[in-house]
Structure 1
């Protein structure tokens, strides 16, 4: 009896991922260069952080393209569905963010991610509440960054 060969074993997966990440880094850099704020207390401005991250991502993506690992392989169908679900949850987060604000959209997304990785409902909810509140506090109190409340409060009359 022979075992089936692994699917797409080789360097192709690393190179495809590297090219996708390189494209993402270029998109992020172009978007960052277009950021303009009429006035800011920060002398560096809003471009520095995303531009720095895009440069770092681009360099690391080039490593994957030019020097892929030996063990690269495509994920099986179950893992691929989980990864696609994470991406879908992050897209939902981006769509909910303006409407629900930081706290609401983060709470929903963290609970969804916890459930996706098989946490029980009580653990997922506890994790979502704790992480959303702690990160909100870290941003607002620790870093002094104001986060949006969302438009749902105004719809409730708040």
Structure 2
């Protein structure tokens, strides 16, 4: 069961990254191009929000159902923090992905309160781009290829 959820988390990550890239680029291009906000822009930001939240939930299942807490209890937190790979997998990756989803959620929520196109795209561009940077910074690239 754990291996299936872990595999789902790995494959869903491609869709999540793709949607964050699309949403961030869409917001940036349309903000700087002074374009009007259309329903497709709303759908892109909403779909990105949904996909990223699903990825977070799957990731939390992997984190809590996996062997990570056993590793922490056996090695101790000092040794986990001293090991680059363990620290990345158990601490840094989950924390940065939670931060990225929070940024997406804040950006989505704030953009709905704006009444005109330029402020909507500005908020989406800022928060979705920060989320994209957070995700790109902590993707385990060695396991992706």
TM-score > 0.5, shorter chain as reference: no
TM-score band, normalised by the shorter chain? Answer: 0.3 to 0.5
Question: TM-score normalised to the size of structure 1?
Answer: 0.31
Question: Which of the pair has more CA radius of gyration?
Answer: 1
**Greater relative contact order (Cα 8 A, min sep 6): structure 1 or 2?**
2
Going by fraction, where is helix more abundant, 1 or 2?
A: 2
